[in-house]
Amino acid sequence: MITKIFLITVFSIGTIAFTGKGAAFAVSAEENYKFYCTQCHGSDGKGEGANSKPKVVGIDLPEMSVTPRNHTNPEDMNKLTDTDIESAISGGGAAVSKSTIMPPWGKTLTEAEIKDLTAYLRKLCKCKGK
């Protein structure tokens, strides 16, 4: 499992380094999710990434007492509008009065990438939001 995550990360770094932000070749939402989000939200989006279990990977990160959102839970995800999700991704937890462990991505990802990620999360939860 760890090896798999490592390989995915190495592959993603290669892809990002090659394309870069705003380059001619677009990186898919799934690739962005794997690169930026799975270490906390998990490779399947269930909120069980390596960072959500700091004790397991040997890092003591007490702030991680707030667990990453399970993006596959329709009940939780339905409470969020697309705008809520976009604000959370762009401005991080602080922008939506949630845990600041959720980092802001507005300077890393383009608006289009954030919209694509939002659509990707809607696929994971199989829900439309309110």
Note the residues at the interface with ligand HEC (CB under 6 A). 36-37, 39-41, 51, 66, 68-69, 80, 84-85, 88-89, 93, 96, 98-99, 101-103, 105, 117, 121
Calpha distance 118→110 (Å, rounded) = 12
- Which residue, 108, 116, 85, is CA-closest to 98? 85
Question: Which CB sits closer to ligand HEC, 14 or 53?
Answer: 53
Least Å from the CB of residue 2 to ligand HEC: 17
Find the radius of gyration of the CA atoms of the chain. Answer: 14
Least Å from the CB of residue 18 to ligand HEC: 19
Q: Which residues contact 45 (CB under 8 A, 6 or more apart)?
A: 33, 37, 38, 70, 71, 72, 121, 124
Least Å from the CB of residue 127 to ligand HEC: 12
Question: Which CB sits closer to ligand HEC, 57 or 66?
Answer: 66
Question: What CA–CA distances, in Å, run from 19 to 28, 32, 47?
Answer: 11, 12, 28
Calpha distance 2→88 (Å, rounded) = 28
Question: Which CB sits closer to ligand HEC, 18 or 83?
Answer: 83
Least Å from the CB of residue 47 to ligand HEC: 8
Question: Which CB sits closer to ligand HEC, 14 or 81?
Answer: 81
